[in-house]
Amino acid sequence: MRIAVTGQNGQVARALSEIAGRHGHEVVLLGRPALDLADPSTIAPAIRGARAEAVINAAAYTAVDKAESEPDLAMAVNGAGAGAVAAAAAELGLPVLQVSTDYVFDGSKPEPYVEEDPVGPLGAYGRSKLAGEQVVAEANPRHAVLRTAWVYAPYGANFVRTMLRIAGNKPEVSVVADQHGCPTSALDIATTLLGVAAKMVAEPENRDLNGVFHMAARGEAVWAEVAEAVFAASRAKGGPSATVKRITTAEFPTQARRPANSRLDCAKLERVYGIRLPEWRGPLERTVSRLLNDAKASG
C-alpha cells in the first residue's frame, strides 16, 4: 500500500517513514514547501502527485505554549489545513487519517476519556486540533480521527530526550506529579496508523471504520513517573541519571494550561480494528536504549 503522509520532520511522520517498509507499505512524505498546511493552495496538488491509496495527516502546529500567542496560525494549520487535506483525499476517493490529541479535553474527568465524552480544550492548541477533527469529518466521510497523548520518539523534541539531556548536566530535576496520562511511542503510533489505513483501504464500505478513536499506550503514569522510568532505564545501560523531585503543576507554570487527566480509553480501537497498543514501559525503555546507543555511535 502506498500512503501519502503530511509532514517530514515530525515524530510520527519520521516513525512512519522508518517502519512502513517492515509492514510492506510505501510512505510518501509531503512537507514544506511542496505541501504547507498554512497554504491551502499547495495541498491538493501535492496529494494528487503522491498517487497514494490513503492519506495520513501527521503534520501539525504543535507548539502548545506558543499557540497562545499565535492562535490564528495554529488554527490555520491544525484547522483549515487539516480540512484541506481531508478534502483533497475525498476528491480522490481516498480515506484520510487525522492524528489528534488529548488536549481536546479539559482534563477534569476522574476516569480515562472515551471518544463520546464532551470536549473542552483549555488553550489555543487544543481548540485548533478540535477544529481540525470537525472539518476533517465534514470534508471526508471516509475518515479516522485518532487521538493520542504524551508522544515521544528516538528523534524530535520530546520529554524523554529532554530528561536525558538534563540528567547529563544536573543531579536533580523537578517534574510535575499531578498530571496523569499515557506515554505513547511514535513508533507504536505509526504501527497503529498503518494498520488502520490498511483496513480502511481493504474495506471501503465498512462505515464502522470511520469516526473518532483513541490511540495511546496501555497503562498510565504521571510525568514524574515517566522521568523516573527514563532515568532507571538509562542507569541500567550506564547512561545519565538524576533524582526526580516531584512538584505540582502550580509550581511549574506554563503559558498554556495542560489537562490534569490525559488518560485515553482505547477499547473502541481494539473493538473495531483489533489493535491494542503495548504497555508504556517497554517501548520507553527501548527508546532510551536506542538514544544511548545513538549517542555512543555519534560520540
Other residues' Cβ atoms within 10 Å of the Cβ of residue 162 = 14
Q: What is the pTM of this model?
A: 0.96
Per-residue pLDDT of 108-133, as tens digits, reads 999 999 999 999 999 999 999 999 99
Question: How confident is the model over 233-242, as pLDDT tens digits?
Answer: 999 999 999 9
Cell of 133: 477533527
The single residue of 61, 113, 125, 273 carrying the catalytic annotation is 125
Residues 19-31 have a mean pLDDT of: 94
For 231-270, letters b (16+ CB in 10 Å) and e give bebbeeeebbbbebebbeeeeeeeebbbbbbbbbebebbe
Q: Would the pLDDT of 27 be above 70?
A: yes
DSSP 35: S
pLDDT tens digits, residue range 229-288?
Answer: 999 999 999 999 999 999 999 998 899 999 999 999 999 999 999 999 999 999 999 999
Which residue in the block uniquely carries the three cell numbers 471504520?
Answer: 209
- Neighbour count for residue 3 (Cβ, 10 Å): 24
Q: Across residues 83-97, what is the average pLDDT? A: 98
Q: How far apart are CA 257 and CA 259, in angstroms?
A: 7
- Max CA separation in the chain (angstroms): 56
pLDDT attached to residue 168:
87
Strand bridging mode 143-148 / 211-214: parallel
Residue percentage of the chain with pLDDT more than 70: 100
Domains and CATH numbers, the chain: 2-298 (3.40.50.720)
Is-contact 98 86, C-beta < 8 A? yes
Would you say residue 298 has pLDDT above 80?
no
Helix residue ranges per DSSP H, 237-298: 267-273, 281-298
pLDDT at 276: 97
Segment 89-118 shows an average pLDDT of 98
Is 188's pLDDT higher than 70? yes
Q: What is the pLDDT of residue 299?
A: 66
pLDDT at 77: 96
Mean pLDDT of the chain: 96
Beta-bridged to residue 243, according to DSSP, are: 172
Average pLDDT over residues 167-196: 96
Q: Is 103 a catalytic residue?
A: no
Over residues 91-97, the mean pLDDT reads 98
The pLDDT of residue 297 is 82
